Structures are given as structure tokens and as C-alpha cells.
Amino acid sequence: MSVSARPRSRALDSPAPKVVAARHPWRWVGIVVASVLVAQFISGLVTNPGWDWATFARFFTARSILEAVVVTLELTFYGTVIGFALGIVLALMRLSRSRFLEAVSWTYVWAFRSIPLIVQLLFWFNISYLYEELRFGIPFGPTFIGFDTKDLISPMGAAVLGLALHQAAYAAEIVRSGVISVDHGQLEAAAALGIPRARQFRRIVLPQAMRSILPNATNEVISLFKGTSVVSVVAIGELFYQVQVIYGRNARVVALLMVATVWYIALTTLLSVVQHYVEKHYAKGATRNEDGWKWAR
């Protein structure tokens, strides 16, 4: 036996063996089972006359439904914008050095998270029975100016108020969670550079907090969007209310519920797509390898 001084490349001595991928027979079973179930579901949708696609098609883009979709989007928009604006303020109060502001914020979140949304909505809707007039003046003393509550808070106003105040409590906690997730060193660096406080928040903290705020915030927007259906209890003509009105007249319950369902699914999908791009925007500089960024980080 001899020992060669130079290491030889052993791979070249014989042809490279062929690689056989691992087999996964159960995957194929799973695929077959899933395909059969999907096919059955689709066949049910097509063949079962109970779905009543003709009615669906007639109402899906009916004027009354489209108007209701707009109302639903309006409620979602105002609820989100006012809710998150107030939520940011509440989060900042909670994180401030003032014990007073912290207590106010905590109490708000406690109160509005404790009361069911539907109760709040009914309450705001009925506020004009409780307080017929809103008056500004000295408590127990003279009044300077007074309004009729009914004029001040319309049913739509009551709905927006209820949704936004409810949303603000949740938004506050989401924003707070994002802010406290930012590395403390970032604040120290900003403070050491003498960057003004508001600018520190807007330019340094918030963009970094957005990365953990966004997935939760989108959840909230989507849940608010579907949650607007609760507003039907106060007879606002949003999507779900409108659908109920129509099937109350023509008794095509399933077809009309599908009209609402498909609208909710379509718009939620749109929101998810928007979420993807907004998240991508805030992921700038977050990874070492920019090309590696695909669907997840």
C-alpha cells in the first residue's frame, strides 16, 4: 500500500452517481383528496339551484348594492382614519412622561375595549334621547351655547363615531406595540444628535415601528371593514343592511348573502394586496440581501 503525497480528486475516478429525489407518496394522496373535495364544492355551486346564481348576477352590480358598498367603504375609511389618528395620539399619551396623560389614555382604552361595539353603536344612535341638547357652559351654572343633539349627530355620524372611537382603542395598542418594539438605541442616537422630539417620532421611530404596526393594523382595517355590518342594527344603508332589506322583500336569502360575501371577499383581497406593497415600502434597509426579498422577510 502506498500513500500518495498529493491528495487526489476522488470524484473524477468514477462517473458521478445519479441523484434520486426523495419520494412523498402521501403528498399525492393528499392532492387527490383535496381535488375531489374542491371539485365537489364547485359542482355543488354550479348544479345546486339553491345558490340561485341568476339572482346573484342581477343584484351583484345593482345600483342599490353599489350604493351600499360605497357606504360600507365610507364607514371603513372614516373609522380607519379617525380611529388611527386618535389611536396615535392615545399611544403617544400612554408613552409620554406625564403620568396624567398616561392615565387618561389607559382609561380610554380600558373603557372602549370593555364595551361591545354593538352596544356603543346603539348608545351613540340613541344619545339624543339621553341628552336632548348639548350645552357648553359652567357645570351647574349658566349655558353659553347649546345645540340640539339630533342635529349634531346624524345616524351616519353616530355610526362613524361609534366605529372610530372603538377602533381608536385598538389602534392605540397596536401603535404602542410598534413603538416599543423599536430598539432603544435608536431613540438615544436621535436624542444625542439633538433631533427635535416630534421629528424623532416621525422620521426615526414611526417608520421603524411601521414594520410591526402594519400587519396588525391591516388586520384591524379588514376586521373594521367587515365589522361595519354591525352598523346594520342602526339602519344605516351599508352593504349588509341593504342585502337584508332586499332578501326581506324577495326571500332570495342565499343569493343575496352571496352578493355581500363576494363583495367582502373582493375588497378584502384588494386590501391584502395593498398591504403587501405598503409593507414592502417600509422594509427598506431591513434586510442584508435586497434581492432575497420575496413574499416574506
Partner 1 sequence: MGEVMVDVLGVHKRFGDNEVLRGVDLQVSAGEVVVVLGPSGSGKSTLLRTINHLERADRGLVRVDGDLIGYRQRGDKLYELREREVLRQRTNIGFVFQNFNLFPHLTVVENIVEAPVSARRKPVAEARAQARRLLERVGLSDKESAYPRHLSGGQQQRVAIARALALEPKVLLFDEPTSALDPELVGEVLDVIKDLARGGTTMIVVTHEIGFAREVADTVVFMDDGVVVEQGPPSQVLDHPQHARTRAFLSKVL
87 vs 19: CA distance, rounded Å = 57
Using CB under 8 A, which of 135, 203, 276, 280 touches partner 1? 203
By CB atoms closer than 10 A (0-12, 13-18, 19+), residue 23 is exposed
286 counts as binding partner 1 under rule CB under 8 A: yes
- Minimum distance between the CB of residue 211 and partner 1, rounded to whole angstroms? 9
- Minimum distance between the CB of residue 216 and partner 1, rounded to whole angstroms? 19
93 counts as binding partner 1 under rule CB under 8 A: no
Which range binds partner 1 by CB under 8 A, 84-92, 157-165, 224-232, 277-285? 277-285
282 counts as binding partner 1 under rule CB under 8 A: yes
48 vs 243: CA distance, rounded Å = 21
CB burial string 151-186: b at 16+ within 10 A, e below? eebeebebbbbbbbbbbbbbbbbbbbebbeebeeee
Number of residues that bind partner 1 (CB under 8 A): 24
Shortest CA distance to 225 belongs to which of 119, 83, 110, 30? 83
Using CB under 8 A, which of 185, 251, 291, 292 touches partner 1? 185
- Minimum distance between the CB of residue 274 and partner 1, rounded to whole angstroms? 20
Q: Which is nearer to partner 1, 43 or 287 (CB)?
A: 287
Shortest CA distance to 221 belongs to which of 267, 159, 281? 267
285 counts as binding partner 1 under rule CB under 8 A: yes
68 counts as binding partner 1 under rule CB under 8 A: no
Q: Which is nearer to partner 1, 37 or 286 (CB)?
A: 286
197 counts as binding partner 1 under rule CB under 8 A: yes
- Minimum distance between the CB of residue 202 and partner 1, rounded to whole angstroms? 10
DSSP per-residue codes, 157-208 = HHHHHHHHHHHHHHHHHHHHHHHHTS-HHHHHHHHHTT--HHHIIIIIIHHH
Using CB under 8 A, which of 126, 223, 272, 287 touches partner 1? 287
- Minimum distance between the CB of residue 188 and partner 1, rounded to whole angstroms? 6
Fill in the amino acid letter for 242: Q
Contact 174, 216 (CB under 8 A): yes
Residue 212 grid coordinates? 410591526
3-class SS at 153?
coil
Torsion angle of C-alpha atoms 165, 168, 170, 176, degrees rounded to 10? -160
- Minimum distance between the CB of residue 98 and partner 1, rounded to whole angstroms? 12
- Minimum distance between the CB of residue 199 and partner 1, rounded to whole angstroms? 5
196 counts as binding partner 1 under rule CB under 8 A: yes
Which range binds partner 1 by CB under 8 A, 51-59, 99-107, 232-240, 281-289? 281-289
- Minimum distance between the CB of residue 96 and partner 1, rounded to whole angstroms? 11
Residues that bind partner 1 (CB under 8 A): 183, 185-186, 188-197, 199, 203-204, 207-208, 282, 284-288
